[in-house]
Structure 1
Amino acid sequence: MRKLLAALMGAVVLTVGACSFAPDLSRFAACDAAGGCPSGTSCLASANRCLPACGEGGPCDDGPAPVEDAGVEQDGGMEVDAGTVDAGGADAGEPDAGEPDAGPPALALESTPLMEAVETVPYSARLQARGGTPPYTFNATGQLPAGITLDTEGRVTGTPTRAGDLVLPVEVTDQSTPTKRASGSLTLRVRPLLRVAGPEPLADAASNRAYTERISATGGKGPYSFALAPEQSLPSGLTLAADGVITGTTTQAGETSFTVVVTDSDTPPQSVTGTLSITLTNATGNVKLLSRAVPTGRVGSDYSYTLRTTGGSGSLFNWSVKDGALPPGILFDTKEGILYGKPTSGTDFTFEISVVDLLANDKQSYTLHID
């Protein structure tokens, strides 16, 4: 029976919604009163018709002549000829509208970090944006750091006056209609400038006496590495270690000038040069200050310098600041003759230091410059 129904339905492909199937079975004989049918057929009780019995025994008998119109009827009562239904689906041949145009991507400032700057060194970089409709226009939305400017093409130029992380409030607009905008705060890292701090001159070297002095540096990123520049030399008998300490014994008369190179530990590293000098002096039995200058310092950075002497009985020295004032944040060890601390403000500070032994004393005026 299932094969027969399939055969009757085979000519009809339904693509319209909510259709009913009503085949015309009038060509088949009616069942008798007891529901019986001739041999080879069986009674379909719902239609009271004898339909061919097939399936197990082989192919079905198609029965009487085929019906010309399968009689497929829509729910609305309108008949649809089976031969005119499009088996290809509901698409009536209209072109696909496709996905709506999403337009250009959203406008945004590039998050790539700006190239680093170094304080007091001329700087130039260019901001970038993405998305929207180029070309872009850049503007500052607030106060820029001292020494820094921004033009409408995104060029950041100038000379930063201090180290640290500087904030640049920026807005970018594009050529869309209406105009798109994106804003943000970009960070410009400014590295502290590396300098050779001296002292200049270095402490005098007493003839034929053990000598010790330290070269200092400020800025950059410690620890520092020191070396003599090519074709430079110290007074004979003295050597410079990588940590900046000069030691040895010399008898080379006069003043010797030389250039040192200091390199910091930043990435990428900074390297700078400085010219220093050492002068030979005669040794005496009485206490004598060999230090004729002190190294420069930097606001917020640790500072330490030991004043050098010769002669006298060092363990009995009495040190003091006689005139002037030390920089704020700098202290003086009156037992060891050491200036130390962390300066809090920058300028030149002049003061006089005295050292007293049992039998003699000496004094020297110094200017300590703080960047």
Structure 2
Amino acid sequence: MHAWPASEVPALPGQGRDLRIHDTATGGLVTLDPGPVARIYVCGITPYDATHIGHAATYNAFDLVQRVWLDTKRQVHYVQNVTDVDDPLLERAQRDGLDWAALAEKETALFREDMTALRMLPPRQYIGAVEAIPGIVPLVERLRDMGAAYELEGDVYFSVESDPHFGKVSGLDAAAMRLLSAERGGDPDRPGKKNPLDPMLWMAAREGEPSWDGASLGRGRPGWHIECVAIALDHLGMGFDIQGGGSDLAFPHHEMGASHAQALTGEFPMAKAYVHAGMVALDGEKMSKSKGNLVFVSKLRRDGVDPAAIRLALLAHHYRADWEWTDQVLRDAVARLGRWRAAVSRPDGPPAEALVQEIREALADDLDAPAALIAVDRWTARQEQSGGTDEGAPGVVSRAVDALLGVAL
């Protein structure tokens, strides 16, 4: 599966500092020192509907991570998946009388268009669950053969008790885990499971549903968590720098994925930091496909909204915060974009070197994009009030905003 085209990242003088970011597993800030190649895995979409603002906010956060690392003169090895076979996709296809594979391809193509418009840097590998199945099957077989998995009526489940570190990603107790498991795709009440929290690794073929050859597992399809584990281990290996996604993935998805990988390899941890973006609400409720309370990026673009304004609307909120999308949020972003573009269109302006450093410092400090925006606002205000004599300053600001914030002025 191919990703989307990369926008050029302007080169800036000097370099930024190492990223300090919140790690869900420890509950505090950690400073990452990735070495010459920073490694990041971000969980992708289940493509049964278009990209909404909640998606965009999550991918914007991890785009900033890439930009901070690139500014430290590192390479970035970024991997993202597409869950292109799963219950929600199959249910939507059946509801609408569509072929599930065609629906997945259509929505994945639209996601690529949205990411391109928003200037999100693409992953090096963009892998669908279906194409990962040949790598998933041997992992499930290994877990079964080593006693970390078991069969139940043809399905294969992972035993959470096989990983002594289970629970260290989310920090939740068993009762909270059980509630979330039921809400987020698990089946804690299924009779016969060794532990209610045990997640499915391989689902035996069901009538009327797609299935693949699972060798000794029989025909079926993979569970949700093992999909990402197979892709991450294949392309990044253990101990990569960041496992990322929305905060609703901390449990069960990232918790279970970490345990799968740790049981398979005997190594800990799977990722050095588990980084989670907040949820975006609309009309007082979390924006989600299941509720249908969505603001689609593609719809905003069709209505003539500049993608740079959409991105500024996202950047105005700290990535870890839960926030609400409103018409006023978008109006504020459109106005800010207009002021910034007017300011950099002038032939000269106030010196900009300190501003570049302010943006760098804000982003290196747990991706504090709102602080970076305020710093650009201050430079813009000085430009509006008295201008300046530095002929290169507007160009410096324009390149810095593009390189570090992904906003083309």
- TM-score with structure 1 setting the length: 0.23
The structure number with the bigger radius of gyration is 1
**Higher RCO (Cα < 8 Å, 6 or more apart):** 2
- TM-score with structure 2 setting the length: 0.21
Structure with bigger helix share is 2
